[in-house]
Structure 1
């Protein structure tokens, strides 16, 4: 049974994602030169169009985080212990292991060693970063505890600022793939620190000037279409 709080578009988001992936494959095949030009629009190893789309995609989630909820972390110590263990002690390493199994061995007949290294590096980067944005969605759909959700998202985002680069460098070093430290640091600043700071400042200022009810009931819902649209365009 569908959740009455979810729109038709959101209920069928899987199909829109698959459609955008198909469109992206077609666009890449038909307009390879144009795509390569867009890929060259970067500053300090950060692609500007991708950065803008990611900011639009994650800003609503960052603005939703209430770091004052961290004061209640002791009330959720068991849940936090589980999520921290899975996100930072299990997931990055299991992701790297399975990427090595699939791309270096099972798929070796279809991809070159250079392509395998690129895929493994991408999987390591993905596995080392917990998807905090979707936690709000899953918590809402499962009627979870919103207070615990805020606490664990806040904790994981703060840990991300500290552990992402060391874990990625460790796993890339084990696999023999090298990504310069400045590239990783720039990516963390561009895709985590800047939107996190912007979201925090917007959260504090808007709640203080307009009230929490206006912020949660009117402001955040207005951002949702921009977030979903940016996600779909990024997939393309």
Structure 2
């Protein structure tokens, strides 16, 4: 948090132009995947946790600077906020999967493979890109670190069981066709350890050692500004590679992409707006309400793609649904960053909102 009386930070020029940069990165990735022979096979040749190595590197570069900004000595104030913790658990592990299940059946009753893929997406709660959306919207970094860690634990413990329930048990109760999902807890744990554990440990050690050597003022005024630009660079690098890896599949089936995208658009709008309203109703303040909304609306498409590819095959409709996810999520959540910033006047000033820039 900024010191009392210090000028509140504003969106940097890089952040203001990020939507344009992301759009360009998506276009470059799609064109590269379509027109560069063998690029998809090259990117997928080496994997970490079921994810292409270059994409994994991009995700880690994206997350590390944000997690290095977290003030880990203030996490206790987040874990003690029962309203935030209970609301996040309910939204992520009850409401989110239920909303996606309902939308998948409502919009895709005649396309079981895509429907199953969307249900899997709904179960994969976000542990990666959410940290950068939260940071861009001036959400509570400490709260984001805690909620992402909690989601990770629940992901390891509950993903396989919820997948079995959502695809095999619940449809049977409702008289609907069922499906099977074969995924081990170790596969999920490995993904969590790589994509959250590595940057989280790196960020914690950077702050701990940096503050011990030079003090907090130097760390936050000198080192963090040097690390910060690497987060959007990592994001853009990841977006280019992610879309290049799946560019041909996306451009070859535009009508299928549209069918999958529609329930995803509704899902992001409902989950983000509903979570934002819940945070406002609970009186959480702007920064924690923003964190609650983005952690509830985002999904771990990396995990969803890895699971559907391993279970149903790389060319399956289930995997296609996971692939379309980032195509919709990235631009929508960038837009929601600006929606969150525009909603700042709705919230009274609170101590944990000291880092939030004033509304224009």
Question: TM-score range with shorter-chain normalisation?
Answer: 0.7 to 0.9
Q: How does 1:1-236 map to 2 (within 5 A)?
A: 5-43=10-48, 45-73=50-78, 76-102=81-107, 104-105=108-109, 108=111, 113-114=112-113, 116-125=115-124, 127=125, 129=127, 131-139=130-138, 149-173=140-164, 174-175=166-167, 176-236=180-240
The structure, 1 or 2, with the larger RCO (C-alpha pairs under 8 Å, 6+ apart) is 1
Equivalent position of 1:144 in the other structure: none
Shift of residue 13, structure 1, vs aligned partner: 1.6
Contact 2:126-2:148 at 8 Å conserved across structures: no
Q: For residues 105 and 210 of structure 2, what CA distance do their matches in structure 1 show?
A: 46
Shift of residue 192, structure 1, vs aligned partner: 0.9
Shift of residue 152, structure 1, vs aligned partner: 1.9
1:143-196 Cα distance to aligned partner (Å, 9 max, x none): xxxxxx244223213312310123321332222233333321211111011111
Please state whether the residue corresponding to 2:62 is helix, strand or coil.
helix
Please state whether the residue corresponding to 1:161 is helix, strand or coil.
helix
Shift of residue 203, structure 1, vs aligned partner: 1.2
Q: For residues 153 and 4 of structure 1, what CA distance do their matches in structure 2 show?
A: 19
Count of residue pairs the alignment pairs up = 219
Q: Which has the higher helix share?
A: 1
Segments of structure 1 that go 5 or more residues without pairing to the other structure are: 141-148
Q: For residues 190 and 164 of structure 1, what CA distance do their matches in structure 2 show?
A: 14
Compared with structure 1, are the counterparts of its residues 116 and 41 closer, same or farther at alpha carbon in structure 2 (3 Å cutoff)? Answer: farther
Please state whether the residue corresponding to 1:135 is helix, strand or coil.
helix
Q: For residues 79 and 184 of structure 1, what CA distance do their matches in structure 2 show?
A: 25
Segments of structure 2 that go 5 or more residues without pairing to the other structure are: 1-7, 168-179, 241-360
Shift of residue 128, structure 1, vs aligned partner: 5.2
Please state whether the residue corresponding to 1:6 is helix, strand or coil.
coil
Compared with structure 1, are the counterparts of its residues 150 and 12 closer, same or farther at alpha carbon in structure 2 (3 Å cutoff)? Answer: closer
1:90-139 Cα distance to aligned partner (Å, 9 max, x none): 2243234434544x437x3xxxx5455445434432x4548243223323
1:64-112 Cα distance to aligned partner (Å, 9 max, x none): 222321332476443444334323432243234434544x437x3xxxx
Q: For residues 104 and 197 of structure 2, what CA distance do their matches in structure 1 show?
A: 27
Of 41-50 and 19-28, the range deviating more from structure 2: 41-50
Q: For residues 78 and 119 of structure 1, what CA distance do their matches in structure 2 show?
A: 29
Please state whether the residue corresponding to 1:5 is helix, strand or coil.
coil
Compared with structure 1, are the counterparts of its residues 154 and 45 closer, same or farther at alpha carbon in structure 2 (3 Å cutoff)? Answer: closer
Of 92-101 and 190-199, the range deviating more from structure 2: 92-101
* TM-score normalised per structure 1: 0.78
Q: Considering only aligned residues, what root-mean-square deviation do their CA atoms show, in Å? A: 2.8
